[in-house]
Amino acid sequence: MVFELVDPSKHDILLKFVKAKLTRDAQSKLMVRDLTHSWELVQAILEENYTTRHTLDYYACKMFSARQNKNENIASLGHKIDELQTDLREAARRVLSRKKY
Tens digits of residue pLDDT in 25-45: 777 777 776 667 787 888 777
Closest CA to 11 of 40, 33, 39, 47: 39
- Say what the pTM is: 0.46
Does residue 59 contact residue 47 with C-beta atoms inside 8 Å?
A: no
Structural domain of 19: 2-50
pLDDT band for position 23 (cuts 50, 70, 90):
confident
| Structural domains of the chain, count | 2
Same domain, 7 and 45: yes
Same domain, 71 and 41: no
Same domain, 8 and 28: yes
Same domain, 34 and 63: no
Same domain, 67 and 32: no
Same domain, 63 and 91: yes
Same domain, 6 and 44: yes
